[in-house]
């Protein structure tokens, strides 16, 4: 959308033409309820517009579309008005099908980055991601769209976005200089080698040696080693995801997500990673965050996003997973588990290699399906919170993520488009509840942004 709001009607009509050509009916509205004690309905999508009426909590209403961070709602006697996206709660649709297609109402034209309005390929499943081969050509293309922080900042400032200082207690702290001097895992492993030698001299058998091997793998890695391992894992995983679903053939979309994503990542505590963003060709609604700064949105997700703020909200959630090393820690845990199992089974040494060789081997054996491993719920809630902080810091409205979650909710619990996301994330209603409970403390001034 590149700085201008997308009107719901244009989006609805454009998709209606496509669906209508196939003889498909399009839903006129979606059910919702007022989610606050008192909800003001305005005559236009602006706080300065006249107030038409006030709705009480749990009052039913119909949402007929979206304009920016406002929902257009239908009122009695054929009238309509606007409410803020966080003043109502979309009802879960029973299912997503051709006769109740929420995308006709909420699919926002993604400006010049719009990829398609036609039916697409099927969604990704675990077997696809596990069996997909590494696609070096696609990975090279993905990395070709990278932006420098300076270039992303220049484009953001040209669009009127401003850097905003927002404190965040849950921020993953940058490592202090003193921590850089801590013993590396390699140094710790050298101690285990000496221990093995001594045990051998006094005749202690292979079981003790295996135990030392497991301890060697478990030895805490230094900050530098963890970062090196992330940088080794990222391309391995991203290349396999691209082997299952290549990048969409839309340079504008690819440049757009890199512009927005790099600007958002610059407001995290790990701005120095080689952040890389892309849109992959699958109709599923999902996103993937591989270690080392690789973030991929599906075409289905991208098409649901109505403006730059919503794109930024989704990317911000994934950026937080990278910043907090969520998926990296899952892989490392599995690496440890495998090491222990191998030692028990065969009494052989399983000491770790350098720069993530064991973790990379784990990815080679299990493929990009590691991205479908469920994270702890607290990690998902934290990433939602972090995304709001990054949005505010980057000049966007923190409510942008809320709007995306609302639209995903309206797709329904049985939506095939969200099948994989529901397997790996808390229910959308729970995520919205957590945001409501937490509120926007410290962010209220930024929730007024358009």
Top-level class of domain 8-109 = mainly beta
Residue 17 in this model has a pLDDT that exceeds 50: no
Residue 90 in this model has a pLDDT that exceeds 70: yes
Output the pLDDT for position 317: 95
Closest CA to 82 of 60, 36, 50, 56: 50
Instruction: Please give the Cα distance from 82 to 98 (Å, whole number).
Output: 26
Residue 159 in this model has a pLDDT that exceeds 70: yes
Kindly write down the DSSP assignment for every residue of 51-104, as one continuous string: EEEEEETT-EEEEEEEETTEEEEE-GGG-EEEEETTSEEEPPPS---GGG-THH
Tens digits of residue pLDDT in 140-156: 999 999 999 999 999 99
Tens digits of residue pLDDT in 307-352: 999 999 999 999 999 999 988 888 877 665 554 444 433 333 323 3
More confident residue, 200 or 411: 411
The owner of tokens 């297609």 is 101
Output the pLDDT for position 133: 87
Cβ atoms of 159 and 111 closer than 8 Å? no
Instruction: Please give the Cα distance from 147 to 151 (Å, whole number).
Output: 6
Instruction: Please give the Cα distance from 393 to 51 (Å, whole number).
Output: 31
Instruction: Please give the Cα distance from 266 to 274 (Å, whole number).
Output: 11
Helix axes of 185-201 and 206-218: crossing angle, nearest 10 degrees: 170
Tens digits of residue pLDDT in 96-123: 443 334 554 565 444 344 444 333 444 6
Instruction: Please give the Cα distance from 171 to 151 (Å, whole number).
Output: 25
pTM of the model: 0.79
Cβ atoms of 423 and 284 closer than 8 Å? no
Tokens at 223, concatenated: 């900050």
Instruction: Please give the Cα distance from 358 to 232 (Å, whole number).
Output: 11
Tokens at 302, concatenated: 């991208």
Output the pLDDT for position 398: 97
> Coil, strand or helix: which one is 313?
helix
Write the DSSP symbol of residue 222. P
Query: For the chain, what are the domain ranges?
Result: 8-109, 126-171+224-328+369-448
Tokens at 28, concatenated: 């006129």
Helix axes of 357-366 and 326-346: crossing angle, nearest 10 degrees: 90
Write the DSSP symbol of residue 298. E
Tokens at 205, concatenated: 């058998």
Tokens at 422, concatenated: 């529901």
Tens digits of residue pLDDT in 171-186: 877 654 444 445 555 5
First to last CA, the chain: 13
The least confident of 181-190, 293-302, 427-436, 441-450 is: 181-190
**Percent of residues in the chain assigned helix, strand, coil, to nearest 5:** 55, 10, 35
Phi and psi angles of residue 267, each rounded to the nearest 5 degrees, phi first: -105, 15
Output the pLDDT for position 437: 93
């Amino acid at each position: 959308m590149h700085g201008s709001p997308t009107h719901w009607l244009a989006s609805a009509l454009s998709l209606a033409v496509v669906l209508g050509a196939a003889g498909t009916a399009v839903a006129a509205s979606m059910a919702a309820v007022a989610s606050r004690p008192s909800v003001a309905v305005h005559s236009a999508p602006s706080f300065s517009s006249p107030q038409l009426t006030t709705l009480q909590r749990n009052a039913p209403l119909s949402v007929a579309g979206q304009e920016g961070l406002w929902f257009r709602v239908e009122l009695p006697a054929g009238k309509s008005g606007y409410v803020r996206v966080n003043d109502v709660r979309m009802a879960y649709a029973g299912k997503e099908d051709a006769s109740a297609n929420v995308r006709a109402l909420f699919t926002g034209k993604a400006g010049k980055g719009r990829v398609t309005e036609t039916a697409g390929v099927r969604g990704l499943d675990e077997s696809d991601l596990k069996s997909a081969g590494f696609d070096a050509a696609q990975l090279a293309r993905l990395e070709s769209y990278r932006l420098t922080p300076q270039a992303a900042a220049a484009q953001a400032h040209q669009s009127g976005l401003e850097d905003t200082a927002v404190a965040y207690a849950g921020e993953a702290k940058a490592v202090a200089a003193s921590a850089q001097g801590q013993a590396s895992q390699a140094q710790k492993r050298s101690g285990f080698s000496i221990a093995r030698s001594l045990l051998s001299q006094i005749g202690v058998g292979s079981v003790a040696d295996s135990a030392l091997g497991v301890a060697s793998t478990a030895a805490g890695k230094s900050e530098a080693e963890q970062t090196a391992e992330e940088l080794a894992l990222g391309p391995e995983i991203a290349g396999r995801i691209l082997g299952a679903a290549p990048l969409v053939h839309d340079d504008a979309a690819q440049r757009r997500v890199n512009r927005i994503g790099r600007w958002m990542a610059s407001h995290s505590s790990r701005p120095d990673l080689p952040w890389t963003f892309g849109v992959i060709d699958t109709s599923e609604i999902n996103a993937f965050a591989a270690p080392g700064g690789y973030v991929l949105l599906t075409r289905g997700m991208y098409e649901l996003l109505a403006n730059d703020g919503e794109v930024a909200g989704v990317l911000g959630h994934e950026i937080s997973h990278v910043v907090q090393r969520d998926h990296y820690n899952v892989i490392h845990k599995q690496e440890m588990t495998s090491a222990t199992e191998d030692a028990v089974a065969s009494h052989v040494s399983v000491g770790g290699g350098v720069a993530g060789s064991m973790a990379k081997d784990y990815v080679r054996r299990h493929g990009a399906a590691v991205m479908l491993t469920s994270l702890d719920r607290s990690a998902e809630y934290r990433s939602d919170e972090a995304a709001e902080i990054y949005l505010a810091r980057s000049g966007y409205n923190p409510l942008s993520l809320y709007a995306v979650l609302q639209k995903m909710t309206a797709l329904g619990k049985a939506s095939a488009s969200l099948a994989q996301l529901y397997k790996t994330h808390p229910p959308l209603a729970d995520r919205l509840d957590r945001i409501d409970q937490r509120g926007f403390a410290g962010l209220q001034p930024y929730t007024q942004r358009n």
